[in-house]
Chain A
Amino acid sequence: MTNNLDRVELSLVGRKRSERLFKFYGFLGILIAFLFLITILYSVISQGQKAFFTTFIKVNIFFDSEIIDPQNQRNDEDIRYANFNKIITESLKKKFPENLNKNDSKELSSFISNSEADYLSEFVVKNKDYIGKYKNMWLLASSNIDVIVKNPEMEDLDEEDRLISDKQLGWLNQIRLNKELKKELNKNFFTKADSTEPEQAGIWGSLVGSFLTLLITLILSFPVAVAAGVFLEELAPKNKFTEFLEVNINNLAAVPSIIFGLLGLAIFLNIMHLPRSAPIVGGMVLALMTLPTIIIATRSSLKSVPPSIREAAIGLGATRFQSVVDHVLPLAIPGIMTGTIIGMSRALGESAPLLMIGMVAFIVDVPTTFLDSSTALPVQIYLWKSTAARGFVELTAAGVIVLLVFLILMNGLAVFIRQKFEKKW
């Protein structure tokens, strides 16, 4: 007897040690995961926050009537066709009294984004009194200037490695000294779609695309999945066939998403002839992908409703269908909602199936209907990442921030619903 106790006593040290070791490994695992998270968040946020602001340069614009309206007719159409790039270049030149040759003025005009000529022409059409007068205006800087302003360490690079020449850097410093430089909220980023010029590109188009796509996904997958889940869990007889269905649904949840893209290409595009790159097709593909997730969530939350509820309903004379619709389903709704939101947030982050149906494309117009060409948030991030121009580096990170914010919001909503409405039995 004492022998056994001794043995227990003796092994205690070892057993306690392995417990400590296990705890330590667990802690180490979490620490490593946390470190990775911090690294990712740090690199994304430190890069991405730069894209939320953009550089403007103050220019005293001279609306030269010789260039805008030489015939003095004040005709809208003629004003629109006037060479406003020249107006900008000429006004910029006045900042620097030294003589500039042709190449210099080209380098100088590249300070200002090429969207500003259109902006000025619209401004003049609306305010014709300014023709022949001066006005101080803040104009959007081009991306190369913006990148240098945001990353001062780049100024120390050699001329050939830098985005701007020594001469341009000198002018930039002079502009800075004159306090004719300011950083402001990057409106283009929040209101525009893709562009080849980083300073004119925005996330709005792909955000709308994602919204339209997810709306289709929700409309299609939610009712079908809930009906399927209720049928399988509550009403269907338990036989070989329903078992077979069950196995297949579980398998479907694990199918790589690109397969659903191929399915969409084959059926929705090639057979049904739906338009390429359209949110409706994207939504249909993602609905297929989300279906099994919601079905599984529906079933498990139905399972967690205690049988006494059903028995009580049936005992009082309700039909099976009534007991499910009036009593069981309302109690399972919080769980179903949580599963749906998690399924939707997975769909939001998906890009591979969209590649197959043409949603990975250069699209400048913000979509307005389900049939317009559009991209989605993760696709836009991928497209910017694969573009050469330096200004897209920050935009890519900013796109990731926007995507993360939406994912956190959706998952937060799921947690909130669970905490608030879920009943513990």
Chain B
Amino acid sequence: MKKKIITFTALTLMLSNQSEARDQIKIVGSSTVYPFATVVAERFGKTSGFKTPVIESTGSGGGLKLFCNGLGTQHPDITNASRRIKMKEVKNCEKNGVKDITEIKIGYDGIAFANAKSGPTFDLTLRDLYLALAKEIPADTEGDEVKANPFKMWNEINPKLPAKPIVVIGPPPTSGTRDAFNELAIEKGCKTFPGRNALKKKDKQLYKSQCRAIREDGLYVEAGENDNLIIEKLVANPDALGVFGYSFLDQNKDKVKASKVDNVFPEFEAISSGEYPVSRSLFFYVKNAHASVIPGVKQYVREFTSSKSIGNEGYLISKGLIPLPKSERAKFEKDGKTLAKFDENLLKK
């Protein structure tokens, strides 16, 4: 009986501990940033003497939602994002008391379009991608009116493309890769029609909804927050085209080959110079109110902004991250040290 009482008290004690502050950083967010963040976290855990941070891969949107849910130890301290935070999310954060956050840009990532090595070679333009994947496409070459997307084969869009059915496997809407893909590929392709551009000035809301919407008739297949799954599906179906980040392409060169977009291959130099048209920035956001409470947050941010991790020779570069220009990295290194408050006016432009 005595033993039972002791175990019971021990259990209750362990439970009551949870009101105490956490001593381990919790991170959520983008599956694109996840492979970089885990490397930083592991090195940080080995060298700093702090506990290794816990990282969940929830997608950029899911991560920002958890991040903005409030202050307190049950909420994450940092969220990774493969796109910039949105005004809506900043407002949501503020509503829940998360007013002071710091934005850190860690580098660039190109969005690659690739298919199995045994499949046909695609030589795409942004316009081709838009015509293949948008929900509604212009009814004529001017693009004043739209119609439902009728295309089922690549060569119907552009005779130079292979005579294969359109099957594109890509990320779901919670993913930052998807947001960037909609904005950088589909919308840019949409803009090549003069009528669409005119609509942008007249009715921005309608323009956005028409120029960013992806078709829902099953030709675009959502694969979940798991890029490995996309690679496997591509190998199984050589005609299918996959959408994922450059770092994943880099790791799977033996299985898939990248397509040119506007005559440029997604390669290291082309992405960092901006020549490759579909590249986006990778970020993480820090909850500054937590930085003074949770041990190690400041040091982790410092590790993730240092030149030894994201500089030109940094260890993340060999994992496929494309580095920032020197001056920009220096700016974010400084922001990270001082935990500079994110200015939401930057989003208003």
Do A and B interact?
yes
B41 A362 Cβ-Cβ under 8 A: yes
**CB contact between B42 and one of A162, A273, A364 (< 8 Å): that residue:** A364
Known: A196-B38, A361-B55, A371-B17. A386 touches B46 (CB 8 A): no
**CB contact between B251 and one of A364, A371, A386, A389 (< 8 Å): that residue:** A389
B146 within 8 Å of A by Cβ?
no
Number of contact residues on A: which range applies? 20 to 34
A365 B51 Cβ-Cβ under 8 A: yes
Enumerate A349-370 residues with CB–CB distance to B below 8 Å. 358, 360-365, 369-370
In the assembled complex, the CB of A85 is this many whole angstroms from the nearest CB of chain B, namely: 11
Number of contact residues on B: which range applies? 35 or more
Minimal Cβ-Cβ distance residue in B for A163: B254
Minimal Cβ-Cβ distance residue in A for B56: A361
B42 A274 Cβ-Cβ under 8 A: no
B253 A388 Cβ-Cβ under 8 A: no
- Which secondary structure dominates where chain A touches chain B? loop
Q: CB-defined interface of A384-397 with B at 8 Å, one 1/0 digit per residue?
A: 01111110000000
Minimal Cβ-Cβ distance residue in B for A154: B254
CA separation between A369 and B74, bound complex, in Å?
Answer: 17
Enumerate B22-61 residues with CB–CB distance to A below 8 Å. 22, 24, 26, 34-35, 38-39, 41-42, 45-46, 51-52, 54-57
- Which chain B residues lie closer than 8 Å to A161 at the CB level? 253-254
In the assembled complex, the CB of A149 is this many whole angstroms from the nearest CB of chain B, namely: 17
Among listed A42-50, A227-235, A275-283, A285-293, interface-contacting one: A275-283
A5 within 8 Å of B by Cβ?
no
- Which chain B residues lie closer than 8 Å to A197 at the CB level? 42
Enumerate A160-202 residues with CB–CB distance to B below 8 Å. 160-162, 195-197
CA separation between A195 and B248, bound complex, in Å?
Answer: 18
B254 A388 Cβ-Cβ under 8 A: no
A196 B17 Cβ-Cβ under 8 A: no
Minimal Cβ-Cβ distance residue in B for A370: B14
- Which chain B residues lie closer than 8 Å to A362 at the CB level? 34, 38, 41, 54-57
Minimal Cβ-Cβ distance residue in A for B226: A386
B51 A387 Cβ-Cβ under 8 A: no
**CB contact between B54 and one of A280, A361, A389 (< 8 Å): that residue:** A361
- Which chain B residues lie closer than 8 Å to A1 at the CB level? none
Q: CB-defined interface of B228-267 with A at 8 Å, one 1/0 digit per residue?
A: 1100000000000000000110011110000000000000
CA separation between A364 and B51, bound complex, in Å?
Answer: 9
B141 within 8 Å of A by Cβ?
no
In the assembled complex, the CB of B21 is this many whole angstroms from the nearest CB of chain A, namely: 11
B253 A160 Cβ-Cβ under 8 A: yes
CA separation between A373 and B27, bound complex, in Å?
Answer: 12
- Which chain B residues lie closer than 8 Å to A269 at the CB level? 74
- Which chain B residues lie closer than 8 Å to A389 at the CB level? 251
Most buried by A among B18, B51, B251: B18
A157 within 8 Å of B by Cβ?
yes
A373 B253 Cβ-Cβ under 8 A: no
B227 within 8 Å of A by Cβ?
yes
- Which chain A residues lie closer than 8 Å to B229 at the CB level? 386
A311 within 8 Å of B by Cβ?
no
Known: A361-B54, A361-B55. A118 touches B228 (CB 8 A): no
- Which chain B residues lie closer than 8 Å to A157 at the CB level? 254
Most buried by A among B52, B54, B74: B54
**12 A–B contact pairs at CB < 8 A?**
A157-B254, A162-B254, A269-B74, A273-B72, A275-B22, A358-B56, A360-B56, A363-B54, A364-B45, A364-B52, A371-B14, A388-B227
A residues lining the B interface (CB < 8 Å): 118, 157, 160-162, 195-197, 269, 273-277, 280, 358, 360-365, 369-371, 373, 385-390
